Structure 1
């Protein structure tokens, strides 16, 4: 589909804002890594950044909330209108939603830089920020809802006009993720509107800290799959074409998306194994559901690797692993996705450990945890998104990617830097080093920490180089005055077997959505009724930093 200027501008604006958030958030990352190496460079940032925790808050919120949400909404819109080959329905609603997201970005960003919202990415009460911070985050989420409604309306209109035709996989995956997002963010929406914002406005004198944590993790862990599913969409629907192959199994891809929708939301209590006040039985139930998410994850690994292997063997790859070298490693978009998938394998293993009750107690609130999510959101998601931009930005700007060798170098540098960083963080966590601590000023230390601390700092420095190389290539492309001679291709892959042969039940939307809602009600309904019925609002607000 040739996008008209309206949709092109809409998507370009979202992707541009997302990359702006990534730029600012990523530049603060090395300061965190070096702080873990007992090197405090934050004084260099004064008066803009006054302390470690302010920098940590900005880094987490801009990267994990603002960048991801803006980019995913733009990518979803792109895949919806191009997969269905039609214009975006209810464009006015979507544009209004983007306005809300921009407002949220401005409010949250400004309050964090003014040190009025140094409450970390999780913003647990009783740490208290200015109400404008919470209003900003709520505005960001509400705006994403509105854009999602527009995307779903576009899909509904297409399905009405094309009865019996399978939804294109690239659109189906994105819309499943949109539904997951709409369902999962009910938790944080209730938290903000019922508990946090009235408390921040001093309309209520205190709040219930435990209930806030429960509602946060209602959203907090499904958020991980909201980050990951667009990467899976690319791995399923785009990457096979980019390596000159085809998708191995359309039905398996669709089934995996439905599996993520069903099992991804009622899993939050595995983040609260150590929290008193949550009955043990609910922790076990959520742990079980968390392990069930492994099933669509394994299906994804099998299908994607099978697609890549068949492509590599068609190009002459032999032996057990000879096909790997035949993939298009010189294409920065391909290398970014291949490397992100490779490192995500280890992130998945760590996730199983995190969800295991006894093992979780070993690594809970240690540096293992940020080491883990830097393998997931900071690599599987972010590095894949970087790979997507290597063709998406040229497509939107109608310009060829500039400095492709630098772009390619950025993917490998990110991969290497993250190996050093995450190895150091996981190692430190196993040695008991706490997370969210400025080690340069901590009154405690242990000789066994020194080597992994050094690895963490080295990794952070390499990641800064990677981010610099990435943005050099992207900015060179954007600022180039030379237009592409031909339209930049959208590399949508074909399946080895036509989707028309996919079982019809894999394109029935209502049963899967209803099942997902039922599981959320079972997983959260009784405990939330109990907690709201016995609300314990005794926590006043504190500004710690």
Structure 2
């Protein structure tokens, strides 16, 4: 895990124009998050029967939630952090800044167009299925134009980061990219590929809506391709940010060396693209051999993430034990208490790690060809998926913003003693939401139906589970709002030195383990034990899934909406 010796100073020394760009992008990303939180809370309340709304309005809430969070919050934040860490990798600032501003402008325009398309006309959900607008092409036009603008931004903006990373080599100032530089380079490349995939997916709908192209009948297959990229790219970004933030908060570098870290990041290029087949398990004409192949390939999709997790945890563990803290750090899990939990970023990453473990367990259940047709159209999907989108990715992105924004703006992080509890409160709500949602999915509750009572013909338990989902969602929304708002305060003009963002009267919020001498006799067991627990849980919940789904009536299972 290599990075600059002082992350805060590197960000603070960026040119003013670069800092303005990063702050502007962060502000838009947090705005998209706020919109998504409000719409998501409204959707959960409607599903739980706590908010009355006609079905069309409920689907509009759901569309706004999915579009603003999944597309604009996740990807605008990724782009901002990519630019920020690329600019500070060598401390030279951004190359081709005008291209970066153009990309940001396109993404901002996309957000506006997508919100217009989501709030007016037919609610198309976040995948923009053209079949739902077959009689109203104009509704699809605005919706897809938003995605096209975002796609062009994702193709332009990362190019600035790539040139920034390669510029020292062109000038003869660097022989090779560092491990972090290589990771940022791969991240930027994936963003560009995702932009191309989005352009390929949504351009035919625009042409049809304008009357100059055929109806996009193959939209479903195209969507599977872009969705797969947008599903796993944030996980890659999460792992990269864990590398960066662990060094910023603890000073720890990988004990495995830079070359091995580069190999791990290269694994995303090898394992992620072929695994997109499992998103097509609900296609009626998918050959059996493709289903089997997709299931086998899907087993490898988490290999890069788990490997990087092992590297980070092992590096932290051996450095913590090298501090010579006696029994407190010598116990199997005792060293974990030595981490800088008083910093909100550390708390957010702790939640992210726990959420990732739970998300991987239930993702394994869903990617099996036998279970996918039974569960993919049930509430199992949002029940497990929020462990990734909120618990893992969003918490990590917010953790990174809590480090970057105070550094570039010079304003200390607002009330870190309060903010550090918000990720754990959000995690508590997530556990309620996820447990009720996954249970509902196992019992056949559909995921895209606002009212699951079916004129009082559905099991009474369904309503109780949706009510629990709404309660968990409300807790998540409240905690996440406070956490994001506290971080957003750093966008305001500075009143304190940024140093107070990482320190408090009670002592430092970070630790400094980078100078510890790591002895060869130290062992790191927590990472492997964690992986073993995840694998055991994967098989256990798969078995539960088979048993419960076999007990349901045929009409309560299956679907054709896919992911």
In structure 1, which of residues 258, 265, 276 is the aligned counterpart of residue 284 of structure 2?
276
d(CA) in 1 for partners of 2:425, 2:397: 16
Aligned to 1:540: none
d(CA) in 1 for partners of 2:512, 2:213: 52
Structure 1 residues 76-87: aligned runs within 5 Å: 76-87=82-93
**What secondary structure does 1:267 align onto?**
helix
Q: Report the CA distance between 1:454 and its aligned residue.
A: 3.4
Aligned to 1:190: 200
Distance 1:8 1:359, change over 3 A: same
> C-alpha offsets along residues 47-87 of structure 1, whole Å, 9 cap, x if unaligned?
xx961000000000000101111111110001111113223
d(CA) in 1 for partners of 2:407, 2:382: 34
In structure 1, which of residues 459, 476, 489 is the aligned counterpart of residue 472 of structure 2?
459
**What secondary structure does 1:147 align onto?**
helix
Aligned to 1:539: none
> Does the alignment pair 1:116 with 2:116?
no
In structure 2, which of residues 212, 215, 223 is the aligned counterpart of residue 203 of structure 1?
212
> Does the alignment pair 1:25 with 2:15?
no
Aligned to 1:338: 350
**What secondary structure does 2:310 align onto?**
helix
In structure 2, which of residues 163, 184, 194 is the aligned counterpart of residue 174 of structure 1?
184
Distance 1:472 1:108, change over 3 A: closer
Q: Which moved more, 1:168-177 or 1:388-397?
A: 168-177
Aligned Cα RMSD in Å? 2.6
**What secondary structure does 2:414 align onto?**
coil
Aligned to 1:367: 379
Q: Report the CA distance between 1:236 and its aligned residue.
A: 1.5
Distance 1:187 1:481, change over 3 A: closer
> C-alpha offsets along residues 171-211 of structure 1, whole Å, 9 cap, x if unaligned?
32222122123234433322222x21112223346331xx2
Asked whether the equivalents of residues 247 and 253 of structure 2 are also in contact (C-alpha less than 8 Å), the reply is yes
Aligned to 1:66: 72
Q: Which runs of 4+ in 1 moved over 6 A?
A: 487-498
Aligned to 2:132: 127
d(CA) in 2 for partners of 1:340, 1:486: 26
In structure 2, which of residues 15, 19, 23 is the aligned counterpart of residue 12 of structure 1?
23
d(CA) in 1 for partners of 2:172, 2:500: 28
> Does the alignment pair 1:307 with 2:311?
no
Asked whether the equivalents of residues 199 and 206 of structure 1 are also in contact (C-alpha less than 8 Å), the reply is yes
Asked whether the equivalents of residues 117 and 133 of structure 1 are also in contact (C-alpha less than 8 Å), the reply is no
Asked whether the equivalents of residues 295 and 368 of structure 2 are also in contact (C-alpha less than 8 Å), the reply is yes
Asked whether the equivalents of residues 33 and 456 of structure 1 are also in contact (C-alpha less than 8 Å), the reply is yes
d(CA) in 1 for partners of 2:460, 2:500: 57
> C-alpha offsets along residues 414-444 of structure 1, whole Å, 9 cap, x if unaligned?
1111111111111100111111111266434
Aligned to 2:433: 421
> C-alpha offsets along residues 226-258 of structure 1, whole Å, 9 cap, x if unaligned?
111221112122224413533332333322211
Asked whether the equivalents of residues 89 and 165 of structure 2 are also in contact (C-alpha less than 8 Å), the reply is no
Distance 1:403 1:437, change over 3 A: same
- What is the aligned residue count? 489
d(CA) in 2 for partners of 1:202, 1:326: 63
Asked whether the equivalents of residues 240 and 311 of structure 1 are also in contact (C-alpha less than 8 Å), the reply is no
Aligned to 1:407: 419
Structure 1 residues 468-483: aligned runs within 5 Å: 468-479=481-492, 481-483=494-496
Asked whether the equivalents of residues 26 and 80 of structure 2 are also in contact (C-alpha less than 8 Å), the reply is yes
Asked whether the equivalents of residues 412 and 500 of structure 2 are also in contact (C-alpha less than 8 Å), the reply is no
Asked whether the equivalents of residues 345 and 400 of structure 2 are also in contact (C-alpha less than 8 Å), the reply is yes
d(CA) in 2 for partners of 1:377, 1:353: 17
TM-score by length of 2: 0.81
> Does the alignment pair 1:56 with 2:62?
yes
TM-score by length of 1: 0.83
Distance 1:283 1:155, change over 3 A: farther
Aligned to 2:274: 266
Aligned to 1:148: 158
Q: Report the CA distance between 1:134 and its aligned residue.
A: 0.6
Gaps of 5+ in 1: 44-48, 499-545
Q: Report the CA distance between 1:120 and its aligned residue.
A: 0.4
> Does the alignment pair 1:287 with 2:295?
yes
Q: Which moved more, 1:460-469 or 1:331-340?
A: 460-469
Asked whether the equivalents of residues 128 and 140 of structure 2 are also in contact (C-alpha less than 8 Å), the reply is no
Q: Which moved more, 1:276-285 or 1:124-133?
A: 276-285
Q: Which moved more, 1:235-244 or 1:419-428?
A: 235-244
Asked whether the equivalents of residues 245 and 307 of structure 1 are also in contact (C-alpha less than 8 Å), the reply is yes
Structure 1 residues 519-534: aligned runs within 5 Å: none
Q: Report the CA distance between 1:148 and its aligned residue.
A: 1.2
Aligned to 2:234: 227
In structure 1, which of residues 94, 99, 107 is the aligned counterpart of residue 105 of structure 2?
99
> Does the alignment pair 1:248 with 2:259?
no
